[in-house]
Amino acid sequence: MRHRQTDSKLGRNTHQRQALFKQQAGALILNESLKTTLAKAKLLVRLMDKLITQAKKNTLASRRRLLAFLNRRQAVNKLVDDIAKRTKTKTSGFTKLIRLGVRRGDNALIARVELIDRPAPAAKPEIKKEAKK
């Protein structure tokens, strides 16, 4: 019976699904924004809440647990040193899911997952073009 089983399998076996979310979580931590299908995005939001909560503990054991999951030292360092400190006052809701519409090729629903409280992107200096004489 399938009572109280909420996770979607996404058409993959366990190891493929786990590898997918390890990669997506690492990419989201490093880039602070990720565009993917809506089904994957919903599961990624749940996973990121758990990872950021673990990072907020900031112990050696929590760092090792995160490193065992993410397999990227750079992502773990950014998660613990930067993202966890920015979200210190929050208890949940660390990510934001924005629906973007459908993908043109296969009509799949697309969404963007972003971290809350991320710094604004640096403004690019405007280059003034000289008028032709």
| pLDDT for position 27 | 97
Whether residue 108 is predicted with pLDDT greater than 80 in this model: the reply is yes
| pLDDT for position 117 | 81
Which residues contact residue 7 at a Cβ distance below 8 angstroms, ignoring those fewer than 6 apart? 43
Which residues contact residue 22 at a Cβ distance below 8 angstroms, ignoring those fewer than 6 apart? 69, 70, 71
- Show contacts of 42-45: CB within 8 Å, 24+ apart: 42/97, 42/111, 43/7, 43/8, 43/10, 44/95, 44/113, 45/95, 45/97, 45/113
| pLDDT for position 72 | 94
Residue matched to tokens 């076996």 = 13
What CATH number does domain 15-115 carry, 1.20.120.550, 2.40.70.10, 3.90.1030.10, 1.10.3720.10? 3.90.1030.10
pLDDT in tens, 39-61: 999 999 999 999 999 999 999 99
Single-letter amino acid, residue 17: R
Biggest alpha carbon distance in the chain?
Answer: 78
The string over 13-47, giving b where at least 16 C-beta atoms fall within 10 Å of a residue's C-beta and e elsewhere, is eeeebeebbbebbbbbbeebebebeeebbebbbeb
Whether residue 98 is predicted with pLDDT greater than 80 in this model: the reply is yes
